[in-house]
Structure 1
Amino acid sequence: MWQTAVNPVVALELLAEGVWSGAGVLGPEAFDSLPFLDRLNTFGAPWGIQERAVAA
């Protein structure tokens, strides 16, 4: 349950602090991802990217 709750909590904090802002209905791609990803680390939810080649 914690993994499900941490993402909206982080997003709401960024909105409340004014880090993210906008008018109307905006999708997640409308916001800068770096503040979100940095905040995930502070909540103890590390993230990473793994590049892989496509097998032919």
Structure 2
Amino acid sequence: MVEAARRAMHRIFKYRLYPNRKQRMMLDTHLMLCRELYHAGLQERIESYKTNRKGVT
């Protein structure tokens, strides 16, 4: 049973998007905001580690 769980099959679906101009602008904005949020969190972790020598959990 455990061995079967290790070899579980994963199904992957890939879709292509063909956004129009307005949708592309919204996707670009969303990607920019996600990137900024990720970098802000990363910077917070780096500063916390430099200050406390411990990571943020």
TM-score normalised by L of structure 1:
0.31
Greater helix share, structure number = 2
Larger relative contact order (Cα-Cα within 8 Å, sequence gap ≥ 6): 1
TM-score normalised by L of structure 2:
0.31
